[in-house]
Amino acid sequence: MIEYKQIDSWLMEQGLSAGAYDGGEMLEAFRLEMEAGLTGTSSSLAMLPTYLSPLAEGVEGTVAFVDAGGTNLRTGLAGVDARGQVKLDHVVKRAMPGRDEEVSAEDFYEAICTGLLPVAERFDRIGFCFSYPAEISPNRDGRLLRWTKEIQIPEMVGTYVGADLVAALEQRGAGRKSVTVLNDTTATLLAGCSVGRAFGAEQFVGFILGTGTNCACLYGGQIINMESGNFAAWPCSAVDDRFDSLQPNRGQYRFEKAVSGAYLGPLTLVAMQQAAQESLFSEKGAAKIEQWRELDTVSLSMRLAGEAESLCGLAEKDERVMLRIFEALVDRASFFSAVNIAAAMVFDRTASAAPICVNTDGSTFYRTPRLAAQTNAYLRSLLMPYDCAFEMKQVVDSPAVGAAMAAF
């Protein structure tokens, strides 16, 4: 059995360690891809306009929100005060329609209307956080491109969800409402406005690291959805290439496959199988690992945190090697996440000395041991040449809070 020093050396050689990457070079690669995406030239970053800006100071009122997430559908009212702080009320939560069986578009809008109709007289505007691939139009509506997360409402694909919600409410006697559609990453940035103004923030970044990953930044005062999970201008390792070759979306979302919760566990397994071929596990452990077909991020995180029993019957020394590999990949994910956030912060940075508010959301970011803390540490190191003051925040109910901000 090898020592940690040998494992760490192997991880570095394989490009599975954060130390194998140059932060300055990756930041520059992000900048070039962001620039290309904005100008419409070939880029792995779509840099999609949202037609939204951070909420101006002093705006207040009551609006409705809709949060259509992967698991739940939530509706309610949101009161925004002059300081930009948001209070949610009359919140109704139900299972996301279409998750367990195919349903109609009528069923989907009925579920939303059921939550909003009892309070329809208290709002004129709705912020609709729609966490599915949608093309946002200049009138701030969204056309559904496809469903993800196993949602089955096929007749909605290609339709404008904002206009159809307006029609559904009007048909049910709620009157004519206005709807602003945005995705969860944009909502995360906007939710940061509810806390950032308190410490003088003038620039905002929204970052999500959960099942997938994405980032939103400001450019010329407008919020841009980077679609950063698809960032491809980084030197993928041989293990990353092998892992990508096993995925149904081969060649796409290479960055997301290196950092997000859906992939960190399975990527660890591919790295382990490579390590087993190079005799980094015992013979008995290597034989077991070669037979494995799945390994999930949550189980590894719980084991690393000491919250679960030994995994998969490995001997203690073999399990320590497994956790060392996972730990290295988590650390690399922290570094990559910091590069992503830093790129969003400095891309359109003005000479202002005001601090930047970075609102972060996502179960993987907060529940994977040391990932959030390491991201913060790497971010501070990456930003030393830029003299950027920032605060990282976690706004509770970011999708709903951000949706409310967008409605104004």
Contacts of 299 (CB under 8 A, 6+ apart): 265, 308, 311
Query: How confident is the model at residue 55, as a pLDDT?
Result: 85
Query: How confident is the model at residue 137, as a pLDDT?
Result: 98
Mean pLDDT per 10-residue segment, the chain (408 residues): 82 98 98 97 96 89 96 97 93 96 98 98 98 96 93 98 99 98 98 94 96 96 96 98 96 97 98 97 96 96 88 89 98 99 92 88 97 98 94 97 97
Asked whether 374 and 331 are in contact (CB, 8 A), the reply is yes
Q: How far apart are CA 78 and CA 91, in angstroms?
A: 9
Query: How confident is the model at residue 351, as a pLDDT?
Result: 60
Indicate where the chain has its CATH 3.30.420.40 domain(s). Answer: 61-182
Q: How many Cα atoms occupy the beta-carbon half-sphere of 219 within 13 Å?
A: 20
Structure tokens at 273: 């199988």
Query: How confident is the model at residue 154, as a pLDDT?
Result: 98
Q: How far apart are CA 343 and CA 94, in angstroms?
A: 37
In the chain, the amino acid numbered 357 is C
CA torsion sign, 368 to 378 to 5 to 293? positive
Q: How far apart are CA 401 and CA 399, in angstroms?
A: 6
Q: How far apart are CA 352 and CA 388, in angstroms?
A: 9
CATH for 1-50+185-395 (3.40.1350.10, 1.20.1600.10, 3.20.20.10, 3.40.367.20): 3.40.367.20
Indicate where the chain has its CATH 3.40.367.20 domain(s). Answer: 1-50+185-395
In the chain, the amino acid numbered 179 is V
CATH architecture of 61-182: 2-Layer Sandwich (3.30)
Partnered with residue 134 across adjacent β-strands are 144
Query: How confident is the model at residue 179, as a pLDDT?
Result: 99
Which pTM value belongs to this model? 0.95
Contacts of 379 (CB under 8 A, 6+ apart): 338, 341, 342, 358, 390, 392
Q: Residue 146 class from Cβ within 10 Å (0-12 exposed, 13-18 middle, 19+ buried)?
A: exposed
Which has the closest alpha carbon to 348: 40, 49, 54, 34?
34
